[in-house]
Amino acid sequence: MDDLNHQAGSARLLNMPGRRDQMLRTMLLCALTAAVFFLPFYLIDGGFFHYAGDFNSQQISFYRYMNGFIKGGGYPDGMAGAARNTFSWATDLGSGAMNAYSFYLYGSPFFWLSLIFPQNWLPYLMVPLLILKFAVAGGGAYRYLCRYVRRTDYAMLGACLYAFSGFSVYNVFFNHFVDVVALFPWMLWALDETLYEQEKHYGLFAFWVGVNLLNNYFFFIGQVIFLVIYFICKLTAGDFPMNLRLFARLAFESLLGAALGFVLLWPAVLSLLQNPRTIDLSSGWGFLTYSKVQQYLAILLSWILPPDSPYITSIWSEGIIKWTSMSAYLPLCSLAGAMAYWRARQGDSKKRIVAVCAVFALVPVLNSAFYALNSSYYARWYYMPVLILCAMTACGLESPDITADELDAPARGIGWLMLATLAFAVVPVQDSSTKEWSLGVLQNPGQYFVVLGFGLGGLVLYHFICRRWRGSRAFARRMTAAVLAFACLFSMVHIGIGKFGQWHTDSDLVEQYTSALQLKDDLPEGDWRVDTYETHDNLGLWLDKSCLQYFGSTAAPSILSFYPALGVKRDVRSEPEISNYALRGLLSVKYLITTPEKQEDFLAAADEGWDYYDTRDGFMLYENKNYVPMGFTYDYYITEEEYEATVKNTRSNLLMRALVLSEEDAAVYGQYLKKLPEEKRNDLWYDTYVSDCADRRASACSVFQMTNSGFHAEIDLGKEDLVFFSVPYDDGFTAYVNGQETDILRVDEGLMAVLAPAGENTIDFVYQADGFSLAGKVSLAGLAVFVVYTGYFVWKKKKRC
């Protein structure tokens, strides 16, 4: 009961004189710390900060591209009355903008804030935006932690531990994950306000539920799981008085918050249902155990050791380790403070929450529940138990009944565990091929010793501060200063390892991306696709052109069925090999872009269908001799069953000769085409491909115009016929032929076609995300209810005063 009274009383800390200033000071400290460790890289890169991997390839490109897209830059509007800025041609083969980017940035308040700046500023604003995110994370954690400590110095300490946890620093690599880290504490604080201050803050929880859902629907799934665990653990520990009214209010505000974010959630759900990256429900043992022992060791050590670089493992040779965000490390003190608190408290809700999360981390199906039952292993939910570990650490360091010896004892145990990993450096191993013996199984010894050094050094400093200042009023400030200094230094080293580990490939990234902006203005006019060879990722976003090479997880789902049917791998990126020449004709690729350094490699790998066109802005352009304008007709068709019986590596050639129809569509529309004879299904060579391209080109649209909501085409047909477009099928498209709405056929296992009559035809495809109409109405209704609901209680409070 004392703890309950303390938690209720501490909520008033923020309302006491100077306490709100302390929150602002916490945010300022976090911002300054982030600015310091980013500063060297910012200066080295001349303001255009680039890191490695996803940050370089996706985040910089996405932020810059979408800034212009939202503002209406690029392609013209579609037919009269059509929605605007809904379809992105530069996203893979073309994708709905909302569903393609709602996982990355479409609902992020940080992205929408960036829209006040010009598009070309965005690459230079990535660091300032990250600094803001770290500040917001610290502010939210501070507000949450104020309930659990008596002095705000300890809330500041815990907030800094959270803002610069191993998880946060690791996920600078992914950038948009830091948005989630920044906003989550505010939602948990709002939940606590609702649980403990039951007659105050009506609508606060609903607001932060809506913000977090809009920010990232995918992470929100994990947040719902965690909030359920959090609520049950607190309820069973007796942390707050439960009654029917409180339960009804929580349920209502939860649904209200979900309604506010429904505008992005529902279209995303409908799109994800078509995405094959979900769990295999027949996995059996895969539900319960990881297949590699090293996975368990990596999980356990990720809670006590500083993290490796996202794409470089120090120790592990097996398991799924890279890019998983597997870190729950707290800077400087690791789990020492949390473990001291654990040993001193019985029946504590925070202990229960962390214990449940630990079990979830070790059981595959429970772990994947935080990530929508994704079939790939990720630990991208650890930031939530990290916040609880920060609360335990702050409470443990503040508690007068936990002595310096009791604070120090876990540090010694954790230190020995860290030292035990040296066994991986000295264990004898025999090479299977040469039969020679050597010492150690480390994958990256240099990084390992750096990480181990930081881990042990942090514990030594923690031990010294506990011994020197425990019991002093300056203890929290000393520990906070040490945490920030440690976090600053480690973050510099961590980012440096990742950044300079790819410097040999990324040193020309800024030059190539800025040159691409010049090339965009110098390309020949027209609406067609491009291809790239050995350039940096997502060059198409800088050119604002649909490109066959694309790196992004959430493009149109039909792309994830179209490419694999051709034997082209499509997981998180599209990268069909240059040897698949027929795909370039089918997808209307007119130019290929490479660099002078890669010209020789390109010529050795490419077929004879490319002619040198020009060298512009540091790039070499090759023109596709077998280019076919987008939108054309066929003479033949085959069914999906027949298509799937053919050889995969010649299917691209086959698609230049025949349209693939489902059995149902073949029964209805087969009358407009001839069935492809058996002998024509195997005569698939380069020469016949050239001939097929000529036939398709002869029947192509006279006009094809890409718009920001789809496309417009004009074609003259000698008979009623199916017109094919190599655009990914999506339920959000509506087709109009000569102004009349027309059914869209899903052909070629992921592309589109429509039936058009003989004579001159205008064809318009207009895109609006499937489910958006319903979702928008639900969110507008939710917003109206939210305004009335919160307004009523504000009015009631003022009336009472």
65 and 159 assigned to the same domain:
yes
* DSSP H/E element including 513: helix 509-522
The two three-digit tokens of residue 305, written as one number? 């050791």
- Residue-level pLDDT at 10: 47
What is each CA distance from 619 to 227, 612, 615, in whole angstroms? 51, 12, 6
Q: Sign of the C-alpha dihedral, residues 72, 74, 76, 77?
A: negative
Give the span between the Cα atoms of 107 and 117, in whole angstroms.
17
Q: Structural domain of residue 544, as residue ranges? A: 509-624
504: left (phi over 0), alpha (psi -120 to 50) or beta: alpha
Of the three residues 504, 532, 559, the one that is the final residue of a domain is 504
Same domain, 498 and 557: no
Per the domain annotation, does 469 fall within a domain?
A: yes
Q: Within a domain: residue 558?
A: yes
Q: Which two tokens stand for residue 750?
A: 């992921």
In a domain, 779, yes or no: no
Do 464 and 547 lie in one domain? The reply is no
300 and 352 assigned to the same domain: yes
Q: State the pLDDT at residue 17.
A: 46
Q: Count H helices, E strands: the chain?
A: 34, 21
Residues 324 and 224 occupy one common structural domain: yes
Give the Å distances, CA to CA, from 463 to 134, 334, 450: 27, 12, 20
pLDDT at 18: 54
Instruction: For residues 478 and 521, state if they share a domain.
Output: no
Neighbours of 229 (CB within 10 A): 17
Q: What is the model's pLDDT at position 795?
A: 86
449 and 561 fall within a common domain: no
Q: What is the mean pLDDT of each run of 10 residues along the chain (801 residues)?
A: 47 52 95 98 95 96 97 90 93 96 97 97 97 98 96 97 98 98 98 89 95 97 97 94 92 97 96 66 69 95 97 93 96 97 93 97 94 87 98 96 93 96 90 81 95 98 95 94 98 97 91 96 96 97 97 93 94 94 97 96 94 96 98 97 94 97 96 95 94 97 97 97 98 97 97 98 97 97 96 83 64
User: Rounded distance, CA 624 to CA 703, Å?
Assistant: 19
Is the residue at 787 inside a domain?
no
Number of domains observed in the structure of the chain: 3
Clarify whether residues 476 and 520 are in a common domain: no
Reduce the DSSP state of residue 720 to 3 states and report it: coil
Domain identity same for 620 and 675 = no
| Helices within 12-121 (DSSP H only) | 19-44, 53-54, 60-70, 97-101, 109-114
Asked whether residue 432 is assigned to any structural domain, the reply reads yes
pLDDT of residue 5: 47
Cα 678 to Cα 673: distance, rounded to the nearest angstrom: 15
Shared domain for 361 and 230, answered yes or no, is: yes
* CB-CB neighbours of 743 under 10 Å: 12
Name the percent of the chain in helix, strand, coil, to the closest 5.
55, 10, 35
Domain boundary among 437, 471, 504: 504
Both structure tokens of 294? 């090293």
- Encoding tokens for residue 430? 């025999």
Query: Which one-letter amino acid corresponds to residue 337?
Result: G
Side-chain half-sphere exposure of 53, counting CA atoms within 13 A? 19
- The answer to whether 364 and 330 have CB atoms below 8 angstroms apart is no
Same domain, 620 and 479: no
Quote the radius of gyration of the chain (alpha carbons, Å): 29
Cβ atoms of 292 and 318 within 8 Å: the answer is yes
Among 356, 394, 386, residue whose Cα is nearest residue 167: 386
Q: What is the pLDDT of residue 800?
A: 75
In-domain check, residue 441:
yes
pTM attached to this predicted model: 0.95
Give the model's pLDDT for residue 793: 86
Tell which of 459, 486, 504 closes a domain.
504
Q: Is residue 629 part of a domain?
A: no
Q: Domain for residue 81, yes or no? A: no
Other C-beta atoms lying within 10 Å of the C-beta of residue 602: 17
- 657 and 712 both lie in a single domain: yes
Residue 743 · residue 755 · CB < 8 Å = yes
Nearest to 454 by CA among 340, 337, 300, 331: 331
